Structure 1
Amino acid sequence: MIDYEAEIERLLSGPPSKLAFRALCAAVGRSGSPHDLVPRCAERLASWPDAVREAPWSWLAALDAGHSKPTWPLVRSLALRSTHNGTLDPALPDPRSQPEVRGVTHLDLGWFASDHLAALVETMGHWDDLRAIETGGLTDMDDELLAKLAGNPAITRIESLNLVTARENMWHFEKPPFRPPAGQPWRLRHAGLRAPDLVHLIRSGLVPHLRSADVLVCGVDEAQELADCPELARLDRLAIGFRCGRNGRQPLWKPYFGNVIDEDDDAGEAFFARADLAGLRDLTVRGTTMGLGREGLGARGVDAVVASGVLRQLTELTLELLPVGDPTIARVLEAVDHDHIEELTLADLVATDVTAAAFVATEAFPRLRRLDLSRNRLGANGARQLATDVRLPALEHLDLKGRKGGSPYYGCPSVQPVGDTGAEAWASSDNAAKLTYLNMAATGLGQDGLIALMRSERLLGLGFLDVSHNPVGSWPAALRKASVWRTLRTLDVTECGLGDDDVESLASTPSAPPLHGISLAYNSVGSRGARALASWAVLPQLWELNLHDNVIGDDGLADLATSRAAQRLLELDLEQDCWNAHARKYGAPLPVEVLDQASFPSLDAVFLGIVDEYHGARYSSGFPTRIREDIASASATRPELVAFLTHLDMEELEDIDTDEGDGDGADRDFRGNAARHYEFVDEAADFARRMIEGDIGWPPPTS
């Protein structure tokens, strides 16, 4: 029996997170929500960031289906984006008729969300507490809508407005202008806009409080106009993407250096040579993905950043998705203030072990808390050098992952070949003492590296470990009482070649006190593994269990459900991919035990059925059409399941009686195929060798 008063106090006293907020709301709901409990929680939650007090897609879908909950007054943020294939975005709630959302301060409308934005424009005067709006994927077809938003009097109350971010590529759509009329100054402190729109806001005197900006620059003239705004000197944060030209050439699913866009370099030189960025402390410069490469600003543009002198004053720097390579990165590392920098992201820049040697040359970064070198080509030697030859005494967050590459059935990962040797170096490194986050996904990690990390006595506070998309192959019994279990909150072993024996070994772990989430997606967990999870001593404390695309039969699902052990579980993913050779029949209904609210009493999100991740489609909800409709309309059905079943966009294949999910999957099960992983590791190592030798081999010669 859970002591809900103690549970609520523990959550309120613990670290804020979106998942912790959902767990708190579940505990309040299961306590019976005594009259004074929600106000008491609201008072304590005032110290939490509004952004983590988020009602996710599943809550909104349930509200859309007519199901409320007593903890809605605690919500401050809404996310209308669905991240699962074949699920529909719920409508934006109307605060006039749905009082649940009247306390919301942050709205994330999602991408290509014209309907949501139109609804917001219509009701904006009734969102009294709204302070932040975010959306993406706006196109020239949204021109009239943006004009209405710009002229809405309530816009002056907004403190953060993201209509564009530096992550967008502008390949397929032009962006509509956002030109509010001059008038009463706004409260805006952050804006995400095209450069001409940002210049308009600044020059019209509407944003005297602006301190942060995301901006896309599409030409030298735009770069110069923006740079000539003296108000830029008041910014403490700037994220900028140059989108002045396009190339688009790529070898088909092969790693390559990338495409340097000369027009982007021209604009970068023009901007950084002229802009007054005297107050800047946080700078991001971001290009775009292009196949297994990157496209955008090159060495000349980044050298302009260095020449501007701005790097010496930064505490945070992000360079991402730029075709620059080791020599340029070395110049960046030389230019930053090693004693001052606190967060450094050099991701997807074609870095190799030469970049690690450039870190060694600096000797120490005494205040660096966050280091992200993901999606590069560091090898084992580079990882070892960082672990042993650079002093990083404050490091808390380390990201060395490769590019995961999506579904293992057809995905093409781009590995960062750190491997077991690199992992072992970090497991024994003095620099690991304060790490709370370690991401080693898609690094060629095997069993030896996993054992070294899990049994490390240097990782004294590790809370997050991602070793997904690696040829681990098994879960060793030696990890039963591994030291990292003492602190680990989240473990991701997605697509690690694990089966029932391994889950039984994992479930023999007697204690992992802080563990709240585990992902076993894309493995080969069957009914025996599900039964092992059902009896795992740790299951009653989990908030998240991701079993996406495994092979659990009805008996295993029923045993997992009827164990009644998953008392705190908030989110459960039992979807399968149609490419799975052992997926259930489209028309086969899931066992009724999965539906019983007593099985998972805290659940607020569930994902079932058959999806096609290659085409982004859904073929089954987990139930034949008639049964699905009956379940969704029954008054006794739990709201979370109603939310899922009533917000699906399906191709009606669920009634087809096939032997396998797609009828042709016998040779499409790549899980556990370590040889394939090692091919990617060898490819990455060879690519790194060529980059070090200067054999970029790109662009190809023209005939």
Structure 2
Amino acid sequence: MIDAVGEIERVLAGPPSQLAFRALCAALGRAGSPAELVVRCEQGLTEWPDETREAPWSWLAALDDGYAVPGWSLVRSLALKSGRIGTADLPLPDPQPQVTRLDLGYFAGDQVATVSDTLSSWSNLRVLKTELLTERDAEAVAALAANPELARLESLDLIDVSEDLSHFTPPPFRPPADRQLRLRHAGLQAPDFVHLLRSGIVPDLRSAAVRIETIEEARELAACSQLAQLEKLSVGFRCGRNGKHSWDLAIGNVIPEDDAACAAFFANAELKDLRELTIVGASLVRGFHGLGAEGLDAVVASGLVSRLTALSLNLLPMGDTPVVQVVEALDRERIESLTLHGLALTDVTAEGFTGTYSALRNLDLRHNFLTESGAQHLAHDVDLPALERLDLSGDPGGSPYYGRSEIQPIGDAGAVAWASSHNAVNLTELHLAATGITPAAIPELLNTGQLEILNVSYNQLSAWPVVERLPGRCLDLEACNLNDDDLTALAAAEAQLDSLNLAYNSIGSAKALAAWSVVPGLWELNLHDSHLDDDGLTELGAAATSLLELDLEQDCWKLDQRASDEPLPPVIADPAAFPNLDAIFLGEIDEYHGARYSAGYPPSVREQLGPDTRPVLRTFLNHLEMEEEVIEPDTLEGRAFRAEHDFRRGLAGNRIEAEAEARAFARELRG
């Protein structure tokens, strides 16, 4: 039996996270939620960021069903969208006085209207977020802008700078010019942001996310003297679109209008206090579109880069030359976080790092084309004494049934260079998804730094080696072609994991998993697209006493899937098994069309579920969206058809081909 009070103290002593918060609340519930223990939790959570104290979708679904989970009074953040195929987006709950952060998600005009109508009752709300609002939401946005209660907010986002504006026009947001707002952050279209600055109603503003659609908007914004007070700026230039895309690897398309707008803005804007800058482009089929070398050269020419503590460039058609100039312009003693994501970079950029970067804690170079040479240079020929987080991943590409990874081909040699690197002393988080590594690299990788989080997903890791050590908190093995024998080898390791991701592998039995010493302490287990036998699931239910979230969904193309009319074992409905569970995901989904085909329980079985059924299961089943439930018996013809579409057919060869393609493209980029 788990000591609930001891578990609470362990969680409070560890790093804050949304998953850890859920574990704390579950332990509080097991202890019966006595008032003195609630007070202890409240005191211990004082230093946690409010965004970590978030109620997951399953908690909001439970609230919609009429009951609050243990620890609800400790919640400070709500996010309404589930992010799950075939699960309902939830209505805004009645005002929750303790909540400080509210994320309405995308296409949420109705929720914006409801928030505006009830804003006075959200007495502690300070942060409001939404995105992808359209012209149909103009009335709701206007009402929010006119609401006097808006003056209580400290942060408001009505856009996401990554939106490409291909299919809609956002509505204007214009609060009255005679009103004072407390906003310290605003995410808006450029004309709306200019209105805020010129009207003088946001004197405390220090952070902004802005989307610029024309060169005229760029010039008007740059002319606002109030920009000088900004400490943080995220910007997306969306001034044109040439429509070209490629089915082959490509840098993408430079948009001259974006270059011109970027140059006009950074040549004229007064940004003397800016310390964090993010610039975001947009994705094509392969490659990206947005500003190019001329725009980035203007950023460097402004002299801004050397003053930054954090710089993030994302999804832009760049190549090495302009980015090397950015790296050269950095202040090596000042920069703390550097993200160069999706810029078509090669080892040339890696080699542009020289000397010592004494403050750099986060280095993100994912979705580029570095090889082992670039990874080795960063590991051995540069000094990164403060580095805590490193991401050298390729692009996993989403569901392996429908997508294909783009490899960043550092391979085993590039990965294991970090095991012996002097820069790994403080490394706690390492991401190497889709990098072409093999099982041979795993033992050395697991001896890298003081790893708490390791992501080696979307690599060919069948024949997993027996190892003694695993990361301290999170291990991501999604789509690694693992089978039951690999699971047995994995379970030979002694470790203490919070989260384990085994999605999209070939696991059929959970017996080895249930017997693993790690499982009683797990908070999150992702077995998405696994067809586990009933005995294994039953044993897992008895062993996973701390588990909060379990994913057993399957894609419709899975070969050895649980048929729609095949009943799940009683352990899934029994609240005595998986006793800590606060979220479960079951049934068959179509990840290509974004549709749900089944709930995991046929309608006839759902009707027979009794009052003793696990509440979290009832909540899941009550909040599904299915146009028509598909109940089809498993046939030889159906299996043969699915076999033709199973991504595992030729998987090893496909990944070898993808790595060869990436290496060839890297050579082409280097010239």
Letter matched to residue 688 of structure 1? A
Partner of 1:526: 508
Q: Quote how far apart the aligned CAs of 1:606 are.
A: 0.3
- What secondary structure, in the 3-state scheme, does the structure 2 residue paired with 1:426 have? coil
Q: Does 1:475 align with 2:464?
A: yes
Partner of 2:235: 240
Letter matched to residue 571 of structure 2? E
1:464 pairs, out of 453, 460, 475, with 453
Partner of 1:328: 322
1:492 pairs, out of 476, 480, 495, with 476
State the alpha-carbon separation in 2 of the partners of residues 24 and 689 from structure 1: 50
Letter matched to residue 559 of structure 1? E
The 1:661/1:623 distance shift into structure 2, 3 A limit, reads farther
C-alpha root-mean-square deviation of aligned residues, in Å? Answer: 1.4
State the alpha-carbon separation in 1 of the partners of residues 243 and 580 from structure 2: 47
Letter matched to residue 348 of structure 2? V
Q: Does 1:642 align with 2:618?
A: yes
2:491 pairs, out of 507, 516, 541, with 507
Q: Quote how far apart the aligned CAs of 1:586 are.
A: 1.6
Q: Quote how far apart the aligned CAs of 1:43 are.
A: 2.0
CA contact (8 A) 2:62 2:69 kept: no
The 1:641/1:506 distance shift into structure 2, 3 A limit, reads same
Q: 1:353-400 CA distances to partner (integer Å, 9 max, x unpaired)? A: 1111111xx322111111000000001111111111111111101010
Identity over aligned residues, as a percent?
A: 54
- What secondary structure, in the 3-state scheme, does the structure 2 residue paired with 1:667 have? helix
Letter matched to residue 472 of structure 1? L
Q: Quote how far apart the aligned CAs of 1:656 are.
A: 2.6
Q: Does 1:549 align with 2:529?
A: yes
Q: Quote how far apart the aligned CAs of 1:35 are.
A: 2.7
CA contact (8 A) 1:621 1:628 kept: no
Q: Quote how far apart the aligned CAs of 1:115 are.
A: 2.5
Q: Quote how far apart the aligned CAs of 1:182 are.
A: 1.8
Partner of 1:625: 603
Range with bigger deviation, 612-621 or 1-10? 1-10
Partner of 2:292: 298
Range with bigger deviation, 46-55 or 546-555? 546-555
Letter matched to residue 264 of structure 1? D
CA contact (8 A) 2:390 2:431 kept: yes
2:112 pairs, out of 100, 117, 126, with 117
Letter matched to residue 577 of structure 1? D
State the alpha-carbon separation in 2 of the partners of residues 588 and 183 from structure 1: 64
Partner of 2:77: 77
Partner of 1:279: 273
- TM-score relative to the length of structure 1: 0.93
Q: Quote how far apart the aligned CAs of 1:662 are.
A: 6.4
Q: 1:170-209 CA distances to partner (integer Å, 9 max, x unpaired)? A: 1111111001112231110000000000000111111000
Partner of 1:700: none
CA contact (8 A) 2:442 2:465 kept: no
Q: Quote how far apart the aligned CAs of 1:660 are.
A: 7.9
State the alpha-carbon separation in 1 of the partners of residues 634 and 176 from structure 2: 60
State the alpha-carbon separation in 2 of the partners of residues 69 and 552 from structure 1: 29
The 1:662/1:207 distance shift into structure 2, 3 A limit, reads farther
Partner of 1:431: 423
- What secondary structure, in the 3-state scheme, does the structure 2 residue paired with 1:129 have? coil
Q: Quote how far apart the aligned CAs of 1:669 are.
A: 2.1
2:631 pairs, out of 637, 646, 655, with 655
Q: Quote how far apart the aligned CAs of 1:661 are.
A: 11
CA contact (8 A) 2:113 2:141 kept: no
Q: Does 1:585 align with 2:563?
A: yes
Partner of 2:32: 32
2:125 pairs, out of 120, 126, 130, with 130
- What secondary structure, in the 3-state scheme, does the structure 1 residue paired with 2:187 have? strand
1:665 pairs, out of 642, 659, 662, with 642
CA contact (8 A) 2:80 2:92 kept: yes
Partner of 1:701: none
State the alpha-carbon separation in 2 of the partners of residues 25 and 688 from structure 1: 48
- What secondary structure, in the 3-state scheme, does the structure 2 residue paired with 1:29 have? helix
Q: 1:452-496 CA distances to partner (integer Å, 9 max, x unpaired)? A: 201x2xx3321100000011122112x1x13xx3x5210000010
- What secondary structure, in the 3-state scheme, does the structure 1 residue paired with 2:298 have? helix
Q: Does 1:208 align with 2:203?
A: yes
State the alpha-carbon separation in 2 of the partners of residues 554 and 654 from structure 1: 22
Any stretches of 5+ residues in structure 2 without a counterpart?
none
Q: Does 1:226 align with 2:226?
A: no
Partner of 1:698: none
1:567 pairs, out of 529, 534, 545, with 545
State the alpha-carbon separation in 2 of the partners of residues 404 and 613 from structure 1: 15
1:343 pairs, out of 317, 333, 337, with 337
CA contact (8 A) 1:440 1:466 kept: yes
Q: 1:603-644 CA distances to partner (integer Å, 9 max, x unpaired)? A: 10000010110111110110111222443xx43222211221
CA contact (8 A) 1:398 1:437 kept: yes
Q: Quote how far apart the aligned CAs of 1:13 are.
A: 1.9
